[in-house]
Structures are given as structure tokens and as C-alpha cells.
Amino acid sequence: MNCSSPIDAAVLADYWLAALAESDEEAVEEHLLDCDPCSARLREIIALAEGLRHLAREGSLRMIVSDAFLRRAEEEGLRVREYAPPPGGSVQCTVTTEDDLLIGRLAADLIGASRVDLCICDERGVEQHRMPDIPVHLGANSVVFQESITYAKTLPDNRMIARLVTVDETGREGLLGEYTFNHTRSLPGPGTWQSA
Amino acid sequence: MMEVELDDAELVRKISSGTDREAETELYRRMAPRIRLYGLRHLRNEQAAEDLTQQVLITTLNALRACRLREPEKLASFVLGTCRMTALDLRRTAHRKERLLEQFGAELTAPVQPIMPRVDYDKLRRCVQNLKERERTVVVMTFYDERTSSDLAGFLDVSEANLRMIRHRAILRLRQCMGVAA
């Protein structure tokens, strides 16, 4: 069966999220009840949505999250381990088998920042990874950073430095804050980096 | 499956003309997966979606056998209307059913066959990690909570229309990365 007017996957995602206007939703439903290719595409969207929920619950993504997301995760029974080193300061941290999400709360004055990058640095302060133009609420006083807990659970003792920087239109950077995480491994396994 | 695929109107006429079991089987094959999707979207529960499918198909078959569908080409509209009525009814009785299940046990309910395509989580993780920061946050937080709330737009300091655009772009990129058609 072919479809002469296929519904865009993004519209189907909106339909799944109940984000369409009522009249649009009715039109989509009429079409879906008469169209196998679009129904199949909707099934792909639902599977994708389920996959994303799985990854969110697994805590394996390195990303910026909101407090509402953390509240919802806790309501769902997920165990959130959170550290909040002050700007320029450090914190002793670890992760256990019972933890589901690993969060770093980075306090910073974000007023006036048009673009904020989060740089992940090694113990010498050398940048290893950059998250450019992270989503921030400019009135907020912190950035809530989720580290991949599956990655953190494999780590030996180490020190990680997170750096929040503003970047202006010319590419010039300004330091908003630097935060040191002194990780001690509390899970069984190697306590130091293993050479390959 | 019927050798030559009938259109909906022909199917309705065949069922209405008597007890054409083959036509009825074809109606089930054609409509059941679509009705299940409607049920999943509105009831958010696979068992409830399965119940809805059964009830809508029974109602539809009874109506067709009794020649109550005056415009055979409007089968999809009839089924959609029946879906809406049945979903309302199921929502009303859901609480009562929960109590019965507590009393008699969940083993009384028939197993539901999975209908969704399988997702390669490792591949999806890599695809999500390759999104832009805003796209990743939007798409994960939206689908985690299955909401397109104004809270999220507020968190990101963007309008809801802008949030929708970011979400659409992210879905497009993810589908491309996962190797499914856009």
C-alpha cells in the first residue's frame, strides 16, 4: 500500500506527544486509520520515544538537564547522586551500584551570557571534551550537568575539572567558573587507569 | 490474506452481504494494528490498547453485518468514531478493572504481542550523543516525560514554537542517524 500524502515524522511525533491542535490531531487520526505506511512510521516514532526514555532512565547520556527532569526521575524511583562544588572549589565524589543518575550542579552567574560552553578537562586542566552552546536559562544561577553514569562507574580514582565559559560573537571566551571533581572509585575494579 | 486487496468500501460490502469470513479476517488484519496505535496514543497502556482493539473490531463487525454503515467508503471514519467512544468508555472503567485485577490477578489478562520495531540502544545512544546540546536536552527531556511543556521552553529560554522546531530537527537527525527514512 502506498501513501500519496505521507505525514511527516515530526508531525507524527507531535501527535504522539499530544502536541497537535485538535483539528490537526483529528486529521492525523483519520489518515492513520486509513494508511499502513504512516502507521508504520508512527510505530517507529513510538519505538524511538521508548528508546529515548530507556536512555534517560539508564543515565548514560552526558547532557544538560533541568530540575524538573530530576524531580520526575526521583518520583519514578531513580536514585540521583548530586555534587555541587562551588566555583573555583572542589568536591570529593564517587558513584555506587545503586545510583541511577550522576549530577554536577555548577553554580554560575549566567546573566548576560549569550552562549555558554561546558568544557570537560583532565586533572591538568587540559580540555578533553567541549559541549558547545549548552542550553541554559539566563536567569538561573546554576547549570545542571548529567555525567554518563555508565562511564563514571568504569572510572578509576581520578580528578576531572569542569569549566563553564562564555563565548561572545567574536569567539572570545570568558571564564564563568571552574569546578573540580575528585572521584574515588568505590566499586570493585581497577583503582588506576590501565595502560592499553 | 485475500488474493487481491479490496479497498475499504468493497470490504464493507462483502461483509454486509453475508457471513464472508475471509472478508472479516481481512478487516481484522487491516484495522487491528491501526486501532492498537490509536489505543496506545490515547490510553498509554498496551493491555488497554489491546482491549480497545478487540472492542472496536467487535463493534465494527456487528455494525457491518447489520448493514448499519450507510457509506461503505467511510469505514475509516466509522472506526475512528468507534475508537473515540470506546476509549472514553475504557477510561471510565479503568479504575474498576484495576480493582478486579487486584482481586483476581493479572494472569487473567491475555498476553499482548509486541508490535513495535526493535531499537538498537547502543546505536541510539551514539546518535543522541552526536546531537547538538540543545537538541539532545530537548528530545530526551521531552520524550522522557512525554510532555511538550512550557516549562521546558522556559528552561531553555525559547518560545514553544522554537522548542518545537528544535524537537523536529532532532527527530529528523535521529531518524537519519538510525538509518530510517526521514
The predicted structure's pLDDT at residue B51: 92
- Measured between beta carbons, the chain A residues lying within 8 angstroms of B124 are 48, 51-52, 55
* Cα–Cα distance measured from residue A8 to residue A34, given in angstroms and rounded to the nearest whole number: 16
* Cα–Cα distance measured from residue B47 to residue B44, given in angstroms and rounded to the nearest whole number: 9
Domain at B121-178, CATH from 1.10.3210.10, 2.40.70.10, 3.40.50.300, 1.10.10.10: 1.10.10.10
A150, pLDDT greater than 70: yes
Cβ distance of A50 and B116 shorter than 8 Å = yes
> Of B31, B145, B180, which has the smallest distance from its Cβ to A44's Cβ?
B180
State phi, psi for A126 to the nearest 5 degrees: -85, 125
Contact, B6 vs B23, CB < 8 A? yes
- Measured between beta carbons, the chain B residues lying within 8 angstroms of A57 are 144
Angle at B62 between CA B61 and CA B66, to 5 degrees: 115
- Residue A145, strand partner residues: A64, A104
The predicted structure's pLDDT at residue A111: 86
> Of B77, B136, B171, which has the smallest distance from its Cβ to A63's Cβ?
B136
- Measured between beta carbons, the chain B residues lying within 8 angstroms of A138 are 157
- Residue A81, strand partner residues: A102
Contact, B123 vs B131, CB < 8 A? no
DSSP string for B120-166: -HHHHHHHHHTS-HHHHHHHHHHHHHT---HHHHHHHT--HHHHHHH
Contact, A125 vs A161, CB < 8 A? yes
- Measured between beta carbons, the chain B residues lying within 8 angstroms of A49 are 143, 146
Contact, A76 vs A57, CB < 8 A? yes
- Measured between beta carbons, the chain B residues lying within 8 angstroms of A54 are 119, 121
Q: How far is A65 from chain B (nearest CA, A)?
A: 6
The predicted structure's pLDDT at residue B111: 43
A17 to chain B, any CB pair closer than 8 A? The answer is yes
Cβ distance of B144 and A19 shorter than 8 Å = no
* Cα–Cα distance measured from residue A175 to residue B171, given in angstroms and rounded to the nearest whole number: 33
Share of chain B above pLDDT 90, in %: 58
Each domain of chain B, given as residue ranges in start order, spans 8-109, 121-178
Cβ distance of B119 and A47 shorter than 8 Å = yes
Considering only CA atoms, which of A131, A16, A143 is closest in space to residue B136? A131
Q: How far is A196 from chain B (nearest CA, A)?
A: 23
Considering only CA atoms, which of B163, B140, B168 is closest in space to residue B152? B163
How are beta strands A116-121 and A127-131 bridged, if at all? antiparallel
* Cα–Cα distance measured from residue B23 to residue B17, given in angstroms and rounded to the nearest whole number: 10
Contact, B94 vs B48, CB < 8 A? yes
The predicted structure's pLDDT at residue B27: 92
B156 to chain A, any CB pair closer than 8 A? The answer is yes
Cβ distance of B140 and A134 shorter than 8 Å = no
Cβ distance of A61 and B125 shorter than 8 Å = yes
A48 to chain B, any CB pair closer than 8 A? The answer is yes
Angle between helical axes of A67-75 and B133-145 (0-180°, round to 10)? 30
Give A48-105 pLDDT, tens digit per residue.
Answer: 999 999 999 999 999 999 998 999 999 999 999 999 999 999 999 999 999 999 999 9
Q: Which three cell numbers stand for residue A107?
A: 553554580
* Cα–Cα distance measured from residue B102 to residue B41, given in angstroms and rounded to the nearest whole number: 25
Which residues 47-66 in chain B show a CB within 8 A of chain A?
none
Banded model confidence at residue B3, pLDDT cuts 50, 70, 90? low
User: Which residue of chain B is at minimal alpha-carbon distance from A147?
Assistant: B129
A49 to chain B, any CB pair closer than 8 A? The answer is yes
Instruction: Just give the CATH number of B8-109.
Output: 1.10.1740
Considering only CA atoms, which of A155, A161, A166 is closest in space to residue A179? A161
Q: What is the ipTM of this complex?
A: 0.90
The predicted structure's pLDDT at residue A191: 61
Give A174-195 pLDDT, tens digit per residue.
Answer: 999 999 999 998 888 766 655 5
Average pLDDT over residues A43-52: 94
B107, pLDDT greater than 90: no
The predicted structure's pLDDT at residue B115: 66
Q: CB count, 10 Å around CB of B54?
A: 14
The answer to whether the pTM exceeds 0.95 is: no
